Chain A
């Protein structure tokens, strides 16, 4: 149980385009999902917290107009990187916390974004 998927696993795009990353909880309903960014050989940086049906809460320094988060259902959250630039290249990881898993976050496999 507690499986979280991400799609795509890897994406390459041109500078100026937008990229959407999906995060799904496959076997539980996720009331809260989290989006992290991880730089090489570094820890995870929390970008935002999203609750189903409400606006995401962004961490300080994260541009909400650049990183659009939508949590439309209890099993799906999306992160859209708008007008991507090379500095947005990174490993993006989502996690989910469900009603039955109130204290543990379960992580997706991550998405490697490369902006050319």
Chain B
């Protein structure tokens, strides 16, 4: 079965400190991997994706993520957190093959950045 895990419901970090939001997955084949951010009562905003190539991908608002095939992980990172980064973050995976249309989402991680 295809699944995406975000093991932390909440991550707390002080402004200016680095942040990491974890994501691991279990899907067949070579997946496409995505991170989205959701602010209260809003839809999801695309942050970044990994399709192929360099394992470190850079995205919007200074975020980056590292694909680790052996650990089946795609952790989201930012060197220096901002209070405005506080939001709900979703990891998503699109498996290769017959389900190429379908995304599998993690349960979400709430990021709290404190001044």
A residues engaging B (CB < 8 A)?
2, 4, 6, 32, 34, 41-44, 46, 49, 91, 93, 95, 97, 103-110, 112
B residues engaging A (CB < 8 A)?
32, 34, 36, 41-46, 49, 51, 90, 92, 94, 101-103, 105-108
Query: Closest CB-CB distance, A52 to chain B, in whole Å?
Result: 13
Query: Closest CB-CB distance, A36 to chain B, in whole Å?
Result: 9
Contacts A43-B106, A103-B51; A93 near B90 (Cβ below 8 A): no
Give chain B residues whose Cβ lies under 8 Å from the Cβ of A103: 32, 49, 51, 94
Is there contact, CB below 8 Å, between A107 and B36? yes
B90, B94, B101: the one within 8 Å of A43 (CB) = B90
A6 to B42, CA, bound (A): 11
Give chain B residues whose Cβ lies under 8 Å from the Cβ of A46: 102-103
Would you mind naming 14 contact pairs between A and B with Cβ atoms under 8 Å apart? A6-B43, A43-B108, A44-B105, A49-B101, A49-B102, A95-B44, A103-B94, A104-B49, A105-B34, A105-B103, A106-B46, A107-B36, A107-B46, A109-B43
